[in-house]
Amino acid sequence: MPTVTFLPSYRKIDVERGCTILDAAQRAGLNVNVICGGQGKCGKCVMFVQAGKTSFDLQKYFRFFNEDEIRRGACLACVTSVDGDIQVTIPESSLIQEQKILITREDLPIEFRPSVRKFYVQLQPPSLADPSPDLSRLLWGIQKSGGPVAEKMYAPLEVLREIPGILRHSDWKVTGTIALVPGGYRLIDLQENDTAMRLYGAAVDLGSTTIVVYLWDLVTGKVVGIASNYNKQISCGEDILARVNFARKNGLAKLQALAVESINTALTSAADNAGIDREDIYEVVIAGNTVMTHMLLGIDPAYMIAEPYVPVVRRALSVAASRIGIACNQNCGLFAFPAVSDFIGGDIIADILACGMAEREEISLMIDIGTNFEVVLGNREWMFSCAGAAGPALEGGEVLFGMRANPGAIEKVTIDPTTLAPAYTTINSAKPRGITGSGLIDLLAEMLVAGIIDRTGRINTGIENDRVRKGDHFPEFVVVWERETAIGKDIVITENDIKNLIMSKASVHAACVTLMKEAGVTRHEIATIYFAGAFGNYLDKKNATIIGIIPEIGIDHVRNIGNGAVAGANMALINRSKRKTLDEIAYKIAYIELNAEPSFMEEYTSSAFLPHTDLTLFPAVQEELEATRNHGKE
């Protein structure tokens, strides 16, 4: 079998001839970026073949590479197959970048109390004086070793059948695994000898694009591995709507299998890297949005994508992981987060758990922004939630030079108010190729403060500066001159880009205000605003306020929680009492349908300014704008 060696890690794997380089990389435990699901369409899985023979379709390459790049070995890993021993370099930009978890166990007063425990017991063999049944003997032994009361434990038939053989074969020295379940404690596994130190659990963020797995040692309470993987469902449709429609046409089986396969790939990668046998994983906690969770469990999501938008189930579910094909111990339990509605899913409940807003008296506002956004407002007594389409602008879509957070993407920008020259940083400090969402927000705020644009987003073409010019269709501002870029042309932002950005931010702000009005809460009463998800990671909080994405509450009170979905899943995994509160949280949250709220459209119109039509809602921004204007006048 040919050997594929990946650089710079020198990780090696033997694969059959004809295997794609992408498959080889995944089997080697490398988390490659593949948005299109391996169809040669997204151009994310770029690698460089350094030596050895490969087969490929040159036409597909030309969509992404020029001749020079191809000569240097550039290839799309998903459509290039291995023909013999090869050496391949993977640029960092082709690997999935971990989303940071900004809230960790260290930050939170969260006790380590997993719901699965192992007990090693050395039992007295039965005698005429003590002929008690095998099960009682075992359970009393576990109780004596600090386990639950014997009467509250029970063994399912498949474990029961194995008890007599294992007890006698191991000379009455065994390790029992006990899981807390509704109605008692379940003996989910029995092993010969002492395996008590081998007990792991996985927390999974089941995203529609990316799946993130945290592997925990449930004895020591430490993370032993992290892996992520693209969601292979993408081959059935890029967005959720397309996938549900695929399921309506072709049945759910394939999508269910792909979700499981995606999780299994990440799980395997995390376990292999940590040197752990997947058989020792006894618990999986999954936070995903409502459609993803339905699909994973094989529950029809069809009625969620059309009026009246009805999920089959919203409560938390506990099922046998093996029942749906998750590759871990055959008696492993799977816990899926509950949802509020089809738009406020388990991922948002996990965000809420992660930021702790449901435990505090003070009021918090939590915002998760992607192509869609979800907003939750409330405290431990009450909560309101809503969701909507933000459009792709805030993630760099529908913006001429917008791009995702890959090397060469501008992620931070400041503008010299005098020269109007931008200073910027790029990912990996590479030559600029485009601008990320956070870069665009900086740009908008800085252009507003510098007076390059007005509060409606129009570019002040009267300014005498090379960078301000009329483009082919719209006025534009040059962020980076051609000579400094990696793409051989000026990187600009156009008035049309700005319009798209304002439309996006206006939706989010209007949603926040709609919930605040519903709850009768003013911005002064909001103690903290949380950003969840990748969007918040690189966001400049001050600039987010200046352009009016969020209500102005003072930037010290704006926090990013990063990947709250996996953070929440982690918490539910390592502390069983957290899990109990989830259904309560989900039931407490009222869902506001924005399209049914006339005030939302009004507020959207008012929010389509920088930061807002009503500047008294943004006093600090007003002050700054006035200060700068006065400064300009001086």
Sequence-distant (≥ 6) Cβ neighbours of residue 128 within 8 angstroms: none
Q: How far is the CB of 136 from its own copies (least distance, A)?
A: 7
Using CB atoms within 10 A of its CB, is residue 316 exposed (0-12), middle (13-18) or buried (19+)? buried
Q: How far is the CB of 387 from its own copies (least distance, A)?
A: 13
Q: Which two tokens stand for residue 161?
A: 């059948």
Residue with tokens 């369409």: 41
Q: How far is the CB of 80 from its own copies (least distance, A)?
A: 39
> Is the alpha carbon torsion for 375, 266, 409, 474 positive or negative?
negative
Q: How far is CA 61 from CA 32, 77, 349, in A?
A: 18, 10, 42
User: Judged by CB, which is closer to its own copies: 136, or 613?
Assistant: 136
User: Judged by CB, which is closer to its own copies: 58, or 128?
Assistant: 128
Q: How far is the CB of 497 from its own copies (least distance, A)?
A: 35
Residue 13 forms beta bridges with which residues?
Answer: 4
Do 500 and 360 form a contact (C-beta atoms < 8 A)?
no
User: Judged by CB, which is closer to its own copies: 297, or 410?
Assistant: 297
Task: Residue 516: name the closest of 547, 553, 545, 541 by CA.
Answer: 553
Q: How far is the CB of 341 from its own copies (least distance, A)?
A: 7
> Is the alpha carbon torsion for 505, 506, 507, 510 positive or negative?
positive
User: Judged by CB, which is closer to its own copies: 344, or 547?
Assistant: 344
> Would you tell me which residues interact with its own copies (CB under 8 A)?
126-128, 130-136, 154-157, 160-161, 163-165, 168, 181-184, 297-300, 302-303, 307-315, 317, 319, 323-324, 341, 593, 596
User: Judged by CB, which is closer to its own copies: 95, or 160?
Assistant: 160
Q: Which two tokens stand for residue 83?
A: 């023909």
Using CB atoms within 10 A of its CB, is residue 508 exposed (0-12), middle (13-18) or buried (19+)? buried
Task: Residue 459: name the closest of 472, 448, 449 by CA.
Answer: 448
User: Judged by CB, which is closer to its own copies: 165, or 632?
Assistant: 165
Q: How far is the CB of 337 from its own copies (least distance, A)?
A: 14
User: Judged by CB, which is closer to its own copies: 481, or 591?
Assistant: 591
Q: How far is CA 627 from CA 443, 610, 611, 619, in A?
A: 19, 16, 16, 12
Q: How far is the CB of 126 from its own copies (least distance, A)?
A: 4
Q: How far is the CB of 294 from its own copies (least distance, A)?
A: 9
User: Judged by CB, which is closer to its own copies: 166, or 511?
Assistant: 166
Q: How many CB atoms lie within 10 A of CB 584?
A: 10
Do 108 and 578 form a contact (C-beta atoms < 8 A)?
no
